[in-house]
Amino acid sequence: MKIARRGVTAAVWAALAACPLGAQAPATAFDVASVKRSNADRPVSNFPLGPGDAYSPNGGLFSATGFPLATYISFAYKVLNAQMMEKLPEWVQSERYDIQARAAGNPGKDDMRTMMRALLAERFKLVLHDEDREVPVTALVVAKAGRLGPHLQPHPADMPCPTTSVSDIGPANANAVSPAETVAGGLPALCGGFLMMPASVPGRVKVAARNVTLDFIAKGLTPGTTLGKPLVDRTGLTGKYDFSLEFTPQANGPMKPGAEAQIDRSGPNFEEAIREQLGLKLEAQKGTITVMVVDHLERPSAN
């Protein structure tokens, strides 16, 4: 079994190796950072914490309140959900933290991830590694060879595809777009990440993305399966795609009073929507997935 140690040193060397001679290497740690337990009523961040490339330029300021530590780890390592992490203490999901940090310049999303890894290692003493596991999975496969659904199409190579969204913080970016802005077909103008879109009927959920791989789509849709297994790409489709998916979510437990009336029972469920809209289907298979195993983790040190 191949185990790759993931730590700050590797991130630093990767950043230096990618930097041409004579150029300034990107920052590998925040200049200043504050970490404390949160009393926030709801989670808020000035920076998107999802796995995609889309983000808002923010002038080097990272400000997030009310998130569990699992969310910050997922952001730092591009993990789509906590199911892909093992040996997490219960408090990593239940305790919430505020993180305020500042870096010089206007770092991009991957730069922020590198700096977040350094912060987690310093303040939470986080040490982890990757392991490949053979487990039951739900495979995403093409329903009919050579035919895709109407809502899954190859991304046109000549179509503009911005990955920066409008922000009130940091320098202005002429290519930035609003997360609410759309292009033909009702798809988001912003590329490189999952976005919630207005559904055609109340009581349904609609997600969409542009210029993403099928692997990215499968991992992003895993929480919607309700099957308890990772959703993996077995379509054999390469390249980047534009997609949207609208379905009626299924309840996984008791519902709040009145919530039942808000569900659109006429809409397709997740599996039906996958087939009708994307031209794909779900199959139970065995597959190899990479999980992150936490070797060491502590509650944060004092600021």
Averaged pLDDT for residues 37-41 = 92
> What is the pLDDT, as a whole number, of residue 193?
85
Mean pLDDT of 226-253: 84
Q: CA–CA separation, 136 vs 285, rounded Å?
A: 6
Structure tokens at 197: 């879109």
pLDDT of residue 127: 94
Cα–Cα nearest to 264, from 218, 196, 203, 177: 203
Q: Which has more confidence, 298 or 159?
A: 298
**pLDDT, tens digit, for every residue of 86-104?**
778 999 999 999 999 999 9
Q: Give the residue, 175 or 278, on which the prediction is more confident.
A: 278
For position 299, what pLDDT does the model report? Answer: 94
Which of 30-34, 62-66, 174-178, 241-245 comes out lowest in average pLDDT?
174-178
173: Cα within 13 Å, side-chain hemisphere: 20
Span 118-131, average pLDDT:
94
Q: What are phi and psi of 118, to 5 degrees?
A: -65, -40
- Mean pLDDT score across all residues of the chain: 82
Is the pTM higher than 0.75? The answer reads: no
Question: Would you say 112 and 120 are in contact if contact means Cβ atoms under 8 Å apart?
Answer: no
Q: Write the pLDDT tens digit of every residue in 1-32.
A: 333 334 433 333 333 333 333 334 456 899 99
pLDDT at 260 over 60: no
